[in-house]
Chains A and B, each alone.
Chain A
Amino acid sequence: DIQMTQSPSSLSASVGDRVTITCQASQDISNYLNWYQQKPGKAPKLLIYDASNLETGVPSRFSGSGSGTDFTFTISSLQPEDIATYYCQQYDNLPMCSFGQGTKLEIK
């Protein structure tokens, strides 16, 4: 099974800050990597698919990069509404997939 190591597990930042979350796969997964945002009590929301593609309607301050085993998710300028938990998800061996442990993002 492919393991996803996401870091940090929690993060505190100020409004306007640049925020970066990383996800490392235990083996090469090409670009089969998505990023989701989950707010408390809500279902996850797709933000980035295939490592770097912005889902329709998602603000451009969100971005993703990487391929192979190392991936990065960035919020260029943190907004108050971005407070949430973020998950990476790999799907190299369809239809199976797995998620990272999550990063809880808080406002400083």
Chain B
Amino acid sequence: QVHLVQSGAEVKKPGASVKVSCKASGYTFTSYGISWVRQAPGQGLEWMGWISVYNGNTNYAQKVQGRVTMTTDTSTSTAYMELRSLRSDDTAVYYCARGVTGAIFDYWGQGTQVTVSS
């Protein structure tokens, strides 16, 4: 069965970077894109961006454009999301999600808590 397993919680200082991983199993990794969605405490879902695992193409939300990089390693079926120049409002749970037809998210990772605090 399909699983997306994310890396553990992170605590970072403002201005630092964080890299979250998402290891996929149970399906052909290159056949689906991966999106990243975050959720600030008590808030709704915010789409951050997408990567085509097939060819590495990316598309980022304007809000994080310039600070985020999404990559994949097909040899380990792992997707990565790096966010730089962290601010307190980046504190959130970060999810990876498999996208069918681009943005029908049928499987999600368990979430990674990222806390930005001085």
Q: Mark B23-52, 1 if CB is under 8 A from A, else 0.
A: 000000000010101000000111100101
* B residues less than 8 Å from A102 (CB atoms): 44-45
Contact in complex: A95, B99 (CB < 8 Å): yes
Q: A44-B45, A96-B47, A98-B47 are in contact. Are A50 and B59 (CB under 8 A)?
A: no
Q: Mark B81-115, 1 if CB is under 8 A from A, else 0.
A: 00000000000000101011111111011110000
Q: A44-B45, A87-B45, A102-B45 are in contact. Are A95 and B106 (CB under 8 A)?
A: no
Task: Give the CA-CA distance A89 to B35 in the complex, in Å.
Answer: 13
Beta-carbon nearest neighbor of A97 in chain B? B103
Distance between B54 CB and nearest chain A CB, rounded to angstroms:
12
Residues of B within 8 A of A (CB-CB), count: 26
Contact in complex: A95, B33 (CB < 8 Å): yes
Beta-carbon nearest neighbor of B108 in chain A? A43
Residues of A within 8 A of B (CB-CB), count: 24
* A residues less than 8 Å from B111 (CB atoms): 43
Counting chain B CB atoms within 10 Å of each CB, which of A38, A49, A97 scores highest? Answer: A97
User: Is B2 interfacial (CB 8 A cutoff)?
Assistant: no
Distance between B101 CB and nearest chain A CB, rounded to angstroms:
8
Distance between A34 CB and nearest chain B CB, rounded to angstroms:
6
B47-71 residues with Cβ-Cβ distance < 8 A to A are 47, 50, 52, 59, 61-62
Beta-carbon nearest neighbor of A9 in chain B? B44
Residues of B within 8 A of A (CB): 33, 35, 37, 44-47, 50, 52, 59, 61-62, 95, 97, 99-106, 108-111
Q: Knowing that A96-B61, A98-B47 are A-B contacts, what are 10 other residue pairs whose CB atoms are under 8 Å apart, sorted by A's residue number?
A: A34-B103, A38-B45, A43-B97, A44-B37, A95-B59, A95-B103, A96-B59, A97-B103, A99-B47, A100-B44
